[in-house]
Structure 1
Amino acid sequence: MAKKPGPAGQPRRSFIEQARRAQIVEAATEVVARVGYTNTSLARIAEHADISKSVITYHFSGKDELLRLVATQFFERAWQHMETQIVARDTAAGQVEAWIGSQLEFFHEHRTEFLAMSEIVTNHREPDGSHAFAREVAEEVDGLAEILARGQRDQEFRSFDTRRVATIILRAADGVLGSWAMDETVDLPQQTAALLDFIDHAIRREHS
């Protein structure tokens, strides 16, 4: 019996298929977080999930599709968490604080998923060798730069190149996360508070 079409004409997956795919994604996340991107294989994921490799290849075309899904699903969940807090703020300064603060908060609460996502984003490549998630990274910079530009228009922030500063802010957050990724004993909430204070002092307009 043919499956009923889902969104965009795609077959609608049964509950059992969705549950199996979720199990495989979870196993892949845990394997990448534990052994790293390079050492992750479908065989290793299958062993971790206690299933055969053929079960994975039935649901996914290969490692590329599976690991992309691990990263993109985490992106989506993180953004849902962040967006609620960002839109709740009335000022650009508040939105910058909510963006960075809620992002690091979500990552802190989901360490395994964060480690897997970070490994995939850093190492995954397109067939031509380019970074697979370059578009997502650029969209993140553009989104934060838009908030910074509004802060300048509202005279909350001093004059600077908004896209360059957005990149610096996001890479600073990456640096804090990198320290925490290497050493779980790093107090990420405390580091986040210090980072937010630093960002606020760096971008605020001085009032006479």
Structure 2
Amino acid sequence: MQPKRGGLTFTEAARRKQIVAAAIEVIAELGYVRASFAQIAKRAGLSSPGLISYHFANKDELIGQVVAEVYATGGALIRPRADNVATAADALRSFVEGSIAFYDTHRSYMRALMQILNGHPEARERWFDAPNTSELAGIEEVLARGQRDGEFREFPTHTVAVIIRDLLSGALLRLLVTPDLDMAAYTREMAELCHFAVAKP
């Protein structure tokens, strides 16, 4: 008997991860509607789409895991950059820079998210609202910390957190439609813009 992790054998967990990775690529390329189990099985190198059904009850369960994987990967890459700094200003800058770097290095992940959001009628409330709310709360916490420490001017933290989140969403769209975008300059100026927007005069 194989050891289990989270109720799954190591082999089952690895196969699920393989399927999720294939689903991300297929959804990014073909869109949510055209991303069938047959297409995903082919990309994953599986002999039959039925092997996906063995690991996932239906397409919605698989899509939920795809969204969770994208957010988990982004969090694992971005959060340490923002956590391991001394000031709120550095945390905000690291979050902005880390977010854009993640978008850049994981473009297929971001395309897949957008395809799901635009293709599934209940995607926002089922898979996106909770992590987005958590991320927004994290930005707001950094802004409030900066105000307490005297780094940031007075402003409604929730409103400004939403604006920063909207700026990053715009950055993602720009990145995906502009293959030759100067990422270094774009990232630098975005971070500077956010910093001087909140910094205490």
Amino acid of the residue matched to residue 117 of structure 1? L
8 Å contact from structure 2 (residues 151, 200) kept in 1: yes
Same amino acid, percent of matched pairs: 33
Q: Which residue of 1 aligns with 2:41?
A: 46
Indicate which of 175, 184, 206 corresponds to 2:179.
184
Q: Which residue of 2 aligns with 1:93?
A: 89
In the TM superposition, residue 184 of structure 1 has moved relative to its aligned partner by: 2.2
Supply the distance in 2 between the matched residues of 1:74 and 1:130 (Cα, whole angstroms).
17
Q: Which residue of 2 aligns with 1:134?
A: 129
Q: Which residue of 1 aligns with 2:32?
A: 37
In the TM superposition, residue 180 of structure 1 has moved relative to its aligned partner by: 1.0
1:20-61 alpha-carbon deviations (Å, 9 max, x no partner): 222211110110111122322222212333431101000111
Amino acid of the residue matched to residue 80 of structure 1? A
The question of 1:58 aligning with 2:54 is answered yes
Aligned pairs (5 A) from 1:165-180:
165-180=160-175
Q: Which residue of 1 aligns with 2:110?
A: 114
8 Å contact from structure 2 (residues 5, 13) kept in 1: no
1:132-168 alpha-carbon deviations (Å, 9 max, x no partner): 3111111111110011011111111111110111011
1:41-97 alpha-carbon deviations (Å, 9 max, x no partner): 222212333431101000111111112111211211211222211121111111000
Q: Which residue of 2 aligns with 1:71?
A: 67
Q: Which residue of 2 aligns with 1:162?
A: 157
Cα 1:152–1:77 change in 2 (3 A) is same
Supply the distance in 2 between the matched residues of 1:143 and 1:6 (Cα, whole angstroms).
29
Amino acid of the residue matched to residue 193 of structure 2? F
8 Å contact from structure 1 (residues 85, 98) kept in 2: yes
1:94-122 alpha-carbon deviations (Å, 9 max, x no partner): 10001111121122122222222333345
Count matched residues. Answer: 200
SS of the residue corresponding to residue 85 of structure 2 reads coil
In the TM superposition, residue 131 of structure 1 has moved relative to its aligned partner by: 5.2
Unmatched runs of 5 consecutive residues or more in structure 1: none
- TM-score normalized with structure 1 length: 0.86
- TM-score normalized with structure 2 length: 0.89
Unmatched runs of 5 consecutive residues or more in structure 2: none
**What is the alpha-carbon root mean square deviation over aligned residues?**
2.1
8 Å contact from structure 1 (residues 180, 187) kept in 2: no
